[in-house]
Amino acid sequence: MRKFLNIHTIILALLLMSISSCGQHNQEIDIKHNDSMVYKSNDDWHKILTKEQYKVLREKETESPFTGKLLHNKEAGIYACAACGNELFTDKMKFDAHCGWPSFDNELSGGKIKKIEDNSYGMHRTEIVCAKCGGHLGHLFNDGPTSTGMRYCVNSLSLNFLPAAQTKNSIDTITLGGGCFWCVEAVYEMLDGVIEVSSGFSGGNISNPTYEQVCTEKTGHAEVVQIIYDTKKTNLTEILKVFFTVHDPTTLNRQGADEGEQYRSVIFFRNSTQQKVAQDIIDDLNKEKVYPQKVVTKVEPFTKFYAAESYHQNYYNLNKTKPYCKMVIQPKLEKFEKLFKNRLKKVD
């Protein structure tokens, strides 16, 4: 802890010097997501993929219906791109569409899947490809039977299934409130080891609050992000280090111009280990006087997380040109990228 703080102190001091520049960045800043793209020659893909996988993933062919090994798979776990390991879906998103291919009603957040207009074969369809390696996955239709209305129709050959039994011991979840959830979500989407980030509400006194209800400040909820992460690749200390880097934990119920109890700085712990890690970091930040003012971040027991409306999910990535994204979120991402440049998601 001591060693971490020494480095952290320097980083935070640098950071605090630049924090006042938030809002002045109105030029386009290139968030280099492309750095994590996987580029390989056709020869290299041939070495990695089977002949059948190559035809589907690289040549956009479609496997015969009702032949895929994952069609009837109902096991708990994660579905990843078979070419590069990019995690795309969970078992909870899978449903039986009776169409002959594995179907999902949603995707993991973070812009992991690219949608491309496809007018081949005289049809107007939306092709879905892996955003990391460009591998063809299948097509997306808006005739899904669940509340999302979406049907991701995916070739089994494009997917690798990772059973939960293999990964469950290394998966953990933490819920953090650091002001506007759009900002916090966008940052964690980029951290290596983070599997999923969802924006929502915690710490209030009614069930299933809407964003409008939370904004009235009568429900007591904070805007939070729920982070599911792989402890083999990251840990709570690193996640909290990012947390204390990208928001100001010294302003009570306020982040910049966003004011109100919903923007409070809070860590919702699920067990005594999380509580101790969080409290130790806060105590050390105060002891070392890393910030000019005292850290006001609350450490509270987690009770419930309510996902926010779908238009709040992945907000930054879908709304990059909006003024709030350019002026408030982009500078935070830029800062995060600079300080944690070796910890951004990448695939080798």
List the catalytic residues. 153, 180
Taking CB under 5 A as the rule, does residue 133 contact Zn ion? yes
Least gap, CB of 83 to Zn ion (angstroms): 4
Judged by beta carbon, residue 39 or residue 121, the one nearer Zn ion is 39
Judged by beta carbon, residue 135 or residue 203, the one nearer Zn ion is 135
Judged by beta carbon, residue 25 or residue 33, the one nearer Zn ion is 33
Least gap, CB of 320 to Zn ion (angstroms): 22
Q: From the CA atom positions of the chain, what is the Rg in Å? A: 21
Number of residues that bind Zn ion (CB under 5 A): 8
Judged by beta carbon, residue 83 or residue 222, the one nearer Zn ion is 83
Taking CB under 5 A as the rule, does residue 131 contact Zn ion? no
Taking CB under 5 A as the rule, does residue 130 contact Zn ion? yes
Least gap, CB of 130 to Zn ion (angstroms): 3
Taking CB under 5 A as the rule, does residue 81 contact Zn ion? yes
Taking CB under 5 A as the rule, does residue 84 contact Zn ion? yes
Least gap, CB of 290 to Zn ion (angstroms): 39
Q: Which stretch binds Zn ion (CB under 5 A): 68-76, 83-91, 139-147, 255-263?
A: 83-91
91: left (phi over 0), alpha (psi -120 to 50) or beta: alpha
Taking CB under 5 A as the rule, does residue 83 contact Zn ion? yes
Q: Angle at the Cα of 173 (from 170 to 177), degrees rounded to 5?
A: 150
Residue among 53, 86, 219, 255 that touches Zn ion (CB under 5 A): 86
Q: Which stretch binds Zn ion (CB under 5 A): 67-75, 133-141, 177-185, 307-315?
A: 133-141
Cβ atoms 187, 330 nearer than 8 A: no
Taking CB under 5 A as the rule, does residue 110 contact Zn ion? no
Least gap, CB of 131 to Zn ion (angstroms): 8
For Zn ion, the binding residues (CB under 5 A) are 81, 83-84, 86, 130, 132-133, 135
